[in-house]
């Protein structure tokens, strides 16, 4: 399938999810997750009008940035090793995986401009998942106030891998509630207005529950190319 066709099908599904939940489709940004696919396929995504590209490895960011033509907004969505921050910090626009103080310290040390970050939350508590426990989020965000290079634009989560709509919905709702709590702290570097949630198999539910950035790989660009 051409990326263009996948994108238009996904936009239809976004529109419908917005209608069901009384939201504006302009408020949903689609990040094409290109971690499984080639630079050519990534180029196809950009040609199809996709503005946001997500990668979970530094090598992926470098490879794609060195080969593609055109503008993109780059999202780092994978877990980020502290010692590798310096290799990628000037190349990316958003980090979706801020989950520990040592990482924040390194970003502060290496960044030349403010970095837009999502705090990653492990809402479901699954051991295999990265991210802070929900209880740890407010104290963590308060600690981030000391780092003027970090701007907490929102919260990110990965839902459990399940078809059970109720489990998914509960997970997204919890992230949304937590976002409100963080924004109520009124910290100047943590407006926390965004929610990065929803992937190929659950983005419609995520949108119904308030997502503003969906991260779509398989359903948009495919799994390999």
Ligand X SMILES: *Cc1c(COP(=O)(O)O)cnc(C)c1O
Q: Cα dist. 209→105, 133, 205, 206 in Å?
A: 32, 20, 6, 5
How many binding residues for ligand X (CB under 6 A)? Answer: 14
As measured in angstroms, the least distance from the Cβ of 37 to ligand X is 10
Residue 8: strand, helix, or coil: helix
Of 33 and 85, nearer to ligand X (C-beta) is 33
Of 153 and 158, nearer to ligand X (C-beta) is 158
CA distance 69 to 92: 16
Contact between 225 and ligand X (CB under 6 A)? no
Region binding ligand X by CB under 6 A among candidate stretches 41-49, 68-76, 80-88, 216-224:
216-224
Closest to 206 in 3D by CA, of 198, 196, 195: 198
Among 60, 134, 210, 217, binds ligand X (CB under 6 A): 217
Q: Which string of DSSP letters, residue by residue, matches 77-135?
A: -S---GGGHHHHTTT-SEEEEE--HHHHHHHHHH-SS-EEEEEEB-SS--TT--SB-HH
Strands annotated E in the chain: 29-33, 52-55, 73-76, 94-98, 115-120, 150-156, 194-196, 213-216
Contact between 216 and ligand X (CB under 6 A)? yes
As measured in angstroms, the least distance from the Cβ of 41 to ligand X is 13
DSSP code at position 28: -
As measured in angstroms, the least distance from the Cβ of 156 to ligand X is 8
Find the binding residues for ligand X in span 145-204 (CB under 6 A).
158, 199-201
- Asked whether 213 and 31 are in contact (CB, 8 A), the reply is yes
As measured in angstroms, the least distance from the Cβ of 146 to ligand X is 27
Find the binding residues for ligand X in span 73-92 (CB under 6 A).
77-78
Of 78 and 154, nearer to ligand X (C-beta) is 78
Region binding ligand X by CB under 6 A among candidate stretches 7-15, 40-48, 141-149, 213-221:
213-221
Among 56, 124, 157, 211, binds ligand X (CB under 6 A): 56
Please list, in sequence order, all residues whose beta carbon lies within 8 angstroms of the beta carbon of residue 162, skipping any fewer than 6 positions away: 168
CA distance 57 to 40: 17
Phi, psi of 74 (to 5 degrees): -100, 130
For ligand X, the nearest residue by Cβ is: 217
As measured in angstroms, the least distance from the Cβ of 34 to ligand X is 10
Q: Residues interacting with ligand X, by CB under 6 A?
A: 33, 35, 56, 77-78, 158, 199-201, 215-219
């Amino acid at each position: 399938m051409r990326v263009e066709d996948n994108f238009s099908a996904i936009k239809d599904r976004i529109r419908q999810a917005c209608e069901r939940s009384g939201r504006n489709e302009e408020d949903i940004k689609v990040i094409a997750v290109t971690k499984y696919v080639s630079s050519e396929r990534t180029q196809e995504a950009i040609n199809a009008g996709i503005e946001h590209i997500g990668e979970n490895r530094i090598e992926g960011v470098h490879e794609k940035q060195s080969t593609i033509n055109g503008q993109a907004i780059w999202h780092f969505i994978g877990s980020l090793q502290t010692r590798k921050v310096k290799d990628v910090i000037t190349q990316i626009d958003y980090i979706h995986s801020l989950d520990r103080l040592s990482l924040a310290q390194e970003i502060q040390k290496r960044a030349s401009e403010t970095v837009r970050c999502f705090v990653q939350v492990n809402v479901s508590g699954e051991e295999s998942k990265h991210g802070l426990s929900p209880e740890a989020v407010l104290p963590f965000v308060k600690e981030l106030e000391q780092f003027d290079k970090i701007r907490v634009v929102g919260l990110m989560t990965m839902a459990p891998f399940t078809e059970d709509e109720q489990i998914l919905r509960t997970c997204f709702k919890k992230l949304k509630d937590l976002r409100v709590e963080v924004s109520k702290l009124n910290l100047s570097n943590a407006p926390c207005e965004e929610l990065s949630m929803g992937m190929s198999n659950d983005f419609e539910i995520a949108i119904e529950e308030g997502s503003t950035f969906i991260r779509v790989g398989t359903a948009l660009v495919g799994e390999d190319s």
